[in-house]
Amino acid sequence: MTAIAPINPGTLQLAASFLRKGGLVAMPTETVYGLACDASNPDAVARLYAAKGRPQFNPLIAHVASFEMAQAEAVFSEAALALARNFWPGPLTLVLPVAQTGTVCDLARSGLDTIAIRMPAHPGARSLIAGFGRPVVAPSANRSGHISPTLADHVKADLDGKVDLILDGGPCTQGIESTIVSLVGDRPALLRAGAVETSVLESFLGEPLARAGEEDDISAPGQLKSHYAPNAHLRLNADAPEAGEAWLGFGPDTFGGTNLSPNGNLAEAAANLFAMLRKLDTDSDRIAVAHIPDEGLGEAINDRLARAAHRE
């Protein structure tokens, strides 16, 4: 049994002591719950991959509590600095060249000479990392391939007994993972649509982001087609539920099922997405999902839905 603990100075200290011993601690972030361990400790990272059942060729994001911590790990170009200054702390992950002073172990980076790094906005996550004093790596705290957790209870449902402590920060406000931008190629590239809208990044940079598929070297190694997989069968872009289907709506409708956002608000839909999928998945075998517009946060929502619907 893994304990779920509210965040306070005592539980933050306990969590940091687990991290120092190579343990695993689930922590809230503004996007989804992360499973944190000491980024510099390969034994801890191996334990983390095993707890999630995650393939080791899928590298992890280093989470930092300050710019100093970030600059010891990665080489920041002008563009990287500008992005970090504007969007951190917050749900933007930058892929950058590893710094010579970097402490994140090879296993956490899957042997790449680049590193994915972000400074989370959630005060609980930042306090934990600051108290620990070094970066943690933190994939989403779910079984590999399962739906990402946005509540402490989701973490417990997936990883009970496999992690040392779950810090409870309530529901995640954004509900969808960070946007990942790579700055190691010729042009800034979008590796994963996420909680920072792509168009916001593009207007900040003053140029469109390159996309996976456009150039061969653009890929997020972990972007598997089938991911976020519920047990239920998902039918996307549905106009209405059919007999035997649970309904996941968006915008006003009269079907009376679960609704991501009755007002058609994409931020609200993102925050509700994973929790509603988990709930419907426990109640039904077939879920019909309403059409979600592909603009703004809809891009990240539709990306997650497509992966959740994909069958191997």
Per partner kind, with CB cut-offs from 5 to 8 A, the member of Mg ion, ligand TXA, none near residue 259 is none
List interacting residues with ligand TXA (CB under 6 A). 29, 31-32, 34, 58-61, 91, 93, 95, 109, 112, 114-116, 120, 138-140, 177-178, 180, 191-192, 220-223
Q: Nearest to Mg ion by Cβ — which residue?
A: 140
Choose the one of Mg ion, ligand TXA, none that binds residue 135, judging by a C-beta under 5 to 8 angstroms depending on kind: none
Per DSSP, the residues of 86-141 read: HH-SSSEEEEEEBPTT--S-TGGGTT-SEEEEE----HHHHHHHHHHTS-EE--BS
60 binds, among Mg ion, ligand TXA, none (CB under 5 to 8 A by kind): ligand TXA
Q: How far is the CB of 178 from ligand TXA (least distance, A)?
A: 3
Q: Which residues of 41-79 are buried (b: 16+ CB within 10 A; e: fewer)?
A: beebbbbbbebbebeeebbbbbbbbeeebbbbbbbbeee
Residue placing its CB nearer to ligand TXA in the complex, 170 or 221: 221
Nearest-CA neighbor of 179 among 56, 38, 299? 299
Distance CA 88, CA 195 (A): 13
- Give the max Cα distance, the chain: 59
At position 149, the amino acid (one-letter code) is P
- Which listed option, Mg ion, ligand TXA, none, makes contact with residue 223 (CB within 5 to 8 Å by class)? ligand TXA
Nearer to ligand TXA, 115 or 270 (CB): 115
Nearest approach, Cβ of 120 to ligand TXA (angstroms)?
Answer: 6
Per-position DSSP letters for 219-250, written without gaps between them:
--TT--SS-S--SSEEEEEESSPPTT-EEEE-
Q: Which is nearer to ligand TXA, 288 or 305 (CB)?
A: 305
Task: Please answer whether residues 270 and 201 qualify as being in contact, where contact means their C-beta atoms are separated by less than 8 angstroms.
Answer: no
Are 309 and 185 a contacting pair, CB within 8 Å?
Answer: no
Q: Which is nearer to ligand TXA, 32 or 229 (CB)?
A: 32
**What character string, x for contact with Mg ion (CB under 5 A) and - otherwise, covers 153-192?**
----------------------------------------
112 binds, among Mg ion, ligand TXA, none (CB under 5 to 8 A by kind): ligand TXA
Check residue 198 for interaction with Mg ion (CB under 5 A): no
Residue whose CB is less far from Mg ion, 127 or 140? 140
Interacting residue with Mg ion among 140, 178, 179, 284 (CB under 5 A): 140
